[in-house]
């Protein structure tokens, strides 16, 4: 079990002005910020990041959305980070997300769902390294 996960505050949540609210929930959830940047990815970078979903019907919509505006990318640290962060963000579809989760509060739809959270330790490492070099991870 690793103690790090990777997150993005997605373009919908940035546009809606929810960066601060979401960071506050992340801090309140006991996560330490090990890396963070405000950035925007190209369509090509989004396609690379979400390569595992290439065969899914929503791949095109997803990569268009994720490259549509700035995001906040971050590596978060906490014991049991991956599982605990998935709990904090809630179900992919906000309609199914539990009360008090980030997606329940701030996500509009299954596609534009406010935040990303890695689904495994292995992917957390791959995704964190996609955005941050060694000098940017603390």
Does 111 help bind ligand GDP (rule: CB under 6 A)?
yes
Q: Residue 95 and residue 90: Cα distance in Å, rounded?
A: 10
Residue with Cβ nearer ligand GDP (4 or 116)? 116
Give the one residue of 24, 40, 54, 58 binding ligand GDP; rule: CB under 6 A: 58
53: annotated active-site residue:
no
Backbone angles phi, psi at 16, to 5 degrees: -80, -5
Give the one residue of 92, 104, 105, 125 binding ligand GDP; rule: CB under 6 A: 92
In degrees, to the nearest 5, what angle opens at C-alpha 85 toward C-alphas 83 and 88?
115
Q: Residue 22 and residue 43: Cα distance in Å, rounded?
A: 25
Q: Which of 4, 10, 103, 116 is catalytic?
A: 116
* Nearest distance in Å: CB 119, ligand GDP: 5
Residue with Cβ nearer ligand GDP (51 or 129)? 51
* Nearest distance in Å: CB 93, ligand GDP: 8
Does 7 help bind ligand GDP (rule: CB under 6 A)?
no
DSSP bridge partners of 115: 9
Give residues 62-91 in contact with ligand GDP (rule: CB under 6 A).
Answer: 62
Contact 63, 46 (CB under 8 A): yes
101 contacts: CB under 8 Å, gap ≥ 6: 87, 88, 89, 90, 91
As annotated, the active-site residues are 116
Residues that bind ligand GDP (CB under 6 A): 58, 61-62, 92, 110-111, 113, 116, 119
């Amino acid at each position: 079990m690793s103690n790090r996960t990777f997150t993005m505050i997605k373009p919908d949540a940035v546009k809606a002005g929810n960066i601060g609210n979401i960071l506050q929930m992340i801090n309140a959830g006991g996560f330490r910020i090990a890396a963070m940047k405000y950035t925007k990815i190209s369509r090509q970078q989004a396609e690379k990041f979400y390569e595992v979903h290439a065969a899914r019907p929503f791949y095109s919509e997803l990569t268009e959305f994720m490259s549509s505006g700035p995001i906040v990318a971050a590596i978060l640290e906490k014991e049991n980070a991956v599982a605990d962060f998935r709990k904090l963000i809630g179900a992919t579809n906000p309609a199914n997300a539990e009360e008090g989760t980030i997606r329940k509060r701030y996500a509009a739809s299954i596609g534009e769902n406010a935040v990303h959270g890695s689904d495994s330790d292995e992917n957390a490492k791959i995704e964190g390294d996609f955005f941050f070099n060694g000098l940017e991870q603390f």
